[in-house]
Structure 1
């Protein structure tokens, strides 16, 4: 099952008048980029939570916010560190006096300094720790559901792009028979002209003609491209979501398409190759957002 790296999940849980909210937002990224914001009371568990999220989210740019609300308490209650405020205020006064600046905004500036004002930190009980972990897991699960739904839409798109490349390859295969016949006819006429010349090494001419035809042959490229497309379809149906594998297969598909274009020496085939490249670019773009 394909999963998108774009997702959103939110969960809430309550225990002993403590409401815990966890929110998870994810976007596509080559690696896991985790931005975690926890209340101060939970800061000791940051590494533990990061390890948990790394295991659950796997890949993508993730923004995770955990908030705690103590029900029944005034949300406007704030503690002030008076000694720290006085230190900041005195330091700002000295700086202002050294440059002859006004003291008008010093109170506001000192109040805004780190650790001066904040909500009181309460001790976290074991049940609350466990509930926080469970809430985060529920939010990630909701995000995972979102990812799976988006992944299903991506699977349909990628299947359509690969199917179009397969259809265009069939057109190339039909045209290839005509192309080879046309090339052979031109070469036979050219050989008839050359055979009339004196001092002509006929064995060498036949070898050169053979090498020329070999360079124009795209049989192996067609077989490999068909194989890559079949494997791509199998990967889309796999139980695992593997965006890296799809990206790698996209590179292999592109390699065969480019080789067919460079060896074909035919305007119609070149046009079909251009159309295949257009579909391949869509595959590359969408594959970047797959987990």
Structure 2
């Protein structure tokens, strides 16, 4: 079953006192392109996180956002910025000496400075942190894969219906194309008859040869046979278990090449209109195929 490259997943996991919240969004991309955004404490896990994603995803731009919170009670919520405090005290002391002030430097004076007392930088336990993050990532990656498959079902139904339409339209085109060589022959005979009405009769064998050459040039039976083969192959790829996006995209190019050839050979307005209709449907298919992993 095919998978879409466009999907979203969101998972939260708690281990001990640490909670990891993961959000993943995926978009179209020719290759697997993983972007990780997370707190500084989790940057060391980036490569391991990418490996988790790459296990079950082959293509797409995948953006991962990670948020971590530790709910452990910690009495040391604030700490003193020693360097800033000493520097500020020395500045106050210099002002006092330069201005020959008698007043003492108080604690209140020091505390009036900004960022002397700051929130403490808590160091998380790396083992517990990874356990919380790893499980969250695995769940989020699996959830993303599920959502891609669900969207893939919609793509499968749409592409199958459109390919059935192309097959049906191709059968109608085939019946009409079978008459093209004879139509060209009659046109050639009428044209020659008109141009040579006042002259000696031309060699009928030569006329037949010219008509056969013209009919052969307008014959699209080979292109139609190849198109039926492409349709069969397209449906087979849709039903395969492997990543199919690149194969289908290549096959769309082959479809387009055959349609262009038929259009150039047709030379009849009705057939040309049918080819335009087929190419329009093919373009819709091509747009959908861009979403397939």
User: Shared fold by TM > 0.5?
Assistant: yes
Question: Where does 1:67-106 land on structure 2 (aligned, <5 Å)?
Answer: 67-73=67-73, 83=83
In the comparison of the two structures, how many residue pairs are matched?
262
| Contact 2:20–2:69 (8 Å) recurs in 1 | yes
Distance 2:281 2:177 in 1: 21
Q: What SS does structure 2 have at the residue aligned with 1:29?
A: coil
Distance 1:8 1:169 in 2: 38
Shift of 1:206: 4.7
Question: Where does 1:79-228 land on structure 2 (aligned, <5 Å)?
Answer: 83=83, 120-192=121-193, 197=199, 206-228=208-230
Distance 1:37 1:119 in 2: 23
Cα-to-partner distance string for 1:96-119 (whole Å, 9 max, x where unaligned): xxxxxxxxxxxxxx98xxxxx887
Cα-to-partner distance string for 1:235-273 (whole Å, 9 max, x where unaligned): 112222411111111111111111111101111111111
CA shift in 2, pair 1:67/1:162, >3 Å? same
RMSD, matched Cα: 3.0
Shift of 1:159: 1.0
TM-score (norm 2): 0.78
| Contact 1:39–1:66 (8 Å) recurs in 2 | yes
List runs of 5+ in structure 1 lacking aligned partners. 88-109, 112-116
The structure number with the bigger radius of gyration is: 2
| Contact 2:185–2:212 (8 Å) recurs in 1 | no
Distance 2:210 2:162 in 1: 40
1:238 to 237, 240, 264: 240
| Contact 1:41–1:124 (8 Å) recurs in 2 | no
CA shift in 2, pair 1:286/1:118, >3 Å? farther
CA shift in 2, pair 1:250/1:211, >3 Å? same
Which residue of the partner structure matches residue 257 of structure 1? Answer: 259
Distance 1:11 1:234 in 2: 35
Cα-to-partner distance string for 1:111-130 (whole Å, 9 max, x where unaligned): 8xxxxx88724243434323
CA shift in 2, pair 1:193/1:79, >3 Å? farther
- Identify which range, 191-200 or 33-42, moves more after superposition: 191-200
Q: What SS does structure 2 have at the residue aligned with 1:222?
A: helix
Matched, 1:27 2:27: yes
List runs of 5+ in structure 2 lacking aligned partners. 88-113
| Contact 1:195–1:202 (8 Å) recurs in 2 | no
Distance 1:267 1:85 in 2: 88
CA shift in 2, pair 1:187/1:44, >3 Å? same
Distance 1:174 1:277 in 2: 18
Which residue of the partner structure matches residue 52 of structure 2? Answer: 52
Q: What SS does structure 2 have at the residue aligned with 1:289?
A: coil
Which residue of the partner structure matches residue 65 of structure 1? Answer: 65
